[in-house]
């Protein structure tokens, strides 16, 4: 199967809203929620994508001629490349009838593990979603990151126990889910958490806790003060608040402020290995990619995940070779054109 064939197959089965576009840039889905679009006018997803495209890389091939190594170590585990599948939930609502969350994670989690990366999994009001995600992670040897919503204290503590039993490298919480329209007024209730509440959650997690949905230096400092091991600079793909900056725009200042103390990851509009390279150059240690992994699963199941993961790895390795870096840790802001070093 080729990538264009994968897209064609996905187009036939990913529901009425996703068009499985050649480039997943938020243009066709706009503000369709339900669906994979963004909130309000739908500008968030488009801006995320666009800002990576505006960054240019510095080519330099006068260097030792040896292969680029995309491997990284994060949260005490080795991965073949510095990217993860992002958590995506409520599959039937957003992508039609083909897969529910259980089936989607049942394909995605082992496929990512087999290809040397890991998947974050989503959460839902139906307890079976988180239980099944944790089961998929456990049976993949803990190669996955369960992502819990910011529920009320009792629900959260019970879900953290389930997550821990899966033996993951880390546990995540999408703290920005407080803004999701379809979580408003639902049971169990979800919402914002104070630094003091987050401290208790970090303790209860007993694993590195990743706070996903940080868009300011102030937010990053609060996450660090709460004891989070990592943050994901993310605006949930534009789905929780319209008219936010793009993640590429806020990442450098956040990485400069907290990157020495905690692990900084980023997502939103990252589509290629070249985009992954740019995100690392701006200061991220790794990235999450959401919508295109959905397209990979719908278009080709486990084979689709392998195909897309391999494509990303090859693009990243090619960019590294063309920019004169041989290992991930050598990627720095100097690799970007017109961006001043930190």
Ligand X SMILES: Cc1cc2nc3c(=O)[nH]c(=O)nc-3n(C[C@H](O)[C@H](O)[C@H](O)COP(=O)(O)O)c2cc1C
SS (H, E, C) the chain: CCHHHHHHHHHCCCCCCCCCCCCCCCCCCCCCCCCCCCCCCCHHHHHHHHHHHHCCECCCCCCCCCCCECCEEECCEEECCCEEECCCCCHHHHHCCCCCHHHHHHHHHHHHHHCCCEEEECCCCCHHHHHHHHHHHHHCCCCEEEEECCECHHHHHHHHHHHHHCCCCCEEEEHHHHHCHHHCCCCCCECCCCHHHHHHHHHHHCCCEEEEEECCHHHHHHHHHCCCCEEEECCHHHCCCCCCCCHHHHHHHHHHHHCCCCEEEEECCCCCHHHHHHHHHCCCCEEEECHHHHHHHHHHHHHHHHHHHHHHHHHHHHHHHHCCCCEHHHCCHHHECCCCCC
Q: What is the largest CA-CA distance in the chain?
A: 59
The residue among 206, 208, 147 whose CA lies nearest residue 175 is 147
CB of 329 to ligand X, least distance (A): 24
CB of 174 to ligand X, least distance (A): 3
Q: Of 68-76, 161-169, 221-229, 230-238, which part binds ligand X (CB under 6 A)? A: 230-238
Q: Of 5-13, 64-72, 267-275, 314-322, which part binds ligand X (CB under 6 A)? A: 267-275
Rank residues 267 and 325 by Cβ distance to ligand X and give the closer one. Answer: 267
Which of positions 238-257 make contact with ligand X (CB under 6 A)? 239
Rank residues 240 and 255 by Cβ distance to ligand X and give the closer one. Answer: 240
Rank residues 36 and 219 by Cβ distance to ligand X and give the closer one. Answer: 36
**Would you count residue 268 as binding ligand X (CB under 6 A)?**
yes
Return all residues near 199 (Cβ < 8 A) that are at least 6 apart.
226, 227
Rank residues 68 and 136 by Cβ distance to ligand X and give the closer one. Answer: 136
CB of 147 to ligand X, least distance (A): 5
Active-site pick, 236, 271, 285, 313: 236
CB of 89 to ligand X, least distance (A): 3
Q: How many CB atoms lie within 10 A of CB 38?
A: 28
Among 82, 110, 122, 208, binds ligand X (CB under 6 A): 122
Rank residues 100 and 267 by Cβ distance to ligand X and give the closer one. Answer: 267
**Would you count residue 48 as binding ligand X (CB under 6 A)?**
yes
CB of 268 to ligand X, least distance (A): 5
Q: How many residues bind ligand X (CB under 6 A)?
A: 23
Which of positions 147-186 make contact with ligand X (CB under 6 A)? 147, 174
**Would you count residue 309 as binding ligand X (CB under 6 A)?**
no
Rank residues 14 and 319 by Cβ distance to ligand X and give the closer one. Answer: 14
Distance CA 117, CA 153 (A): 31
Among 15, 82, 87, 168, binds ligand X (CB under 6 A): 87
Encoded one letter per residue, x for contact with ligand X by CB under 6 A and - for no contact, window 49-68 reads --------------------
Which of positions 281-300 make contact with ligand X (CB under 6 A)? 289-291
**Would you count residue 259 as binding ligand X (CB under 6 A)?**
no
Q: Is 326 a catalytic residue?
A: no
Q: List contacts with ligand X (CB under 6 A).
A: 36, 48, 86-89, 94, 122-123, 147, 174, 212, 234, 236-237, 239, 267-270, 289-291
Active-site annotation, residues? 236
């Amino acid at each position: 199967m080729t990538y264009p064939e994968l897209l064609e197959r996905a187009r036939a089965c990913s529901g009425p809203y996703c068009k499985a576009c050649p480039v997943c840039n938020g243009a066709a889905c706009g503000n369709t929620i339900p669906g994979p679009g963004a909130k309000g006018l739908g500008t968030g997803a488009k801006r995320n994508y666009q800002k990576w495209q505006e960054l240019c890389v510095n080519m330099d091939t006068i260097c030792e001629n040896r292969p680029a190594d995309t491997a990284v170590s994060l949260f005490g585990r080795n991965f073949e490349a510095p990217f993860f599948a992002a958590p995506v939930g409520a599959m039937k609502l957003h992508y039609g009838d083909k897969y529910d969350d259980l089936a989607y994670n049942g394909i995605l989690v082992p496929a990512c593990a087999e290809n040397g990366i890991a998947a974050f999994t989503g959460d839902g009001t139906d307890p079976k979603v988180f239980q099944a995600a944790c089961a998929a992670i456990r049976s993949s040897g803990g190669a996955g990151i369960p992502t819990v919503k910011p529920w009320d204290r009792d629900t959260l503590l019970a879900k953290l126990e389930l997550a821990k039993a899966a033996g993951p490298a880390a546990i995540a919480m999408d703290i920005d889910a407080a803004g999701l329209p379809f979580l408003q007024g639902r049971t169990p209730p979800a919402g914002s958490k104070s630094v003091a509440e987050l401290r208790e959650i970090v303790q209860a997690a007993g694993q590195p806790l990743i706070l996903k949905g940080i868009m300011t230096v102030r937010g990053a400092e609060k996450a660090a003060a709460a004891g989070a091991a990592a943050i994901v600079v993310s605006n949930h793909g534009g789905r929780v608040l319209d008219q936010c900056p793009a993640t590429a725009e806020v990442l450098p200042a956040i990485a400069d402020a907290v990157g020495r103390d905690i692990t900084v990851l980023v997502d939103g509009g990252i589509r290629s290995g070249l985009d992954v390279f740019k995100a690392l150059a701006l200061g991220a240690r790794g990235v999450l990619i959401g919508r295109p992994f959905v397209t990979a699963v719908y278009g080709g199941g486990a084979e689709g995940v392998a195909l897309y993961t391999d494509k990303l790895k090859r693009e990243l390795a090619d960019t590294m070779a063309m920019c004169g870096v041989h290992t991930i840790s050598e990627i720095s802001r100097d690799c970007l054109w017109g961006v001043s070093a930190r």
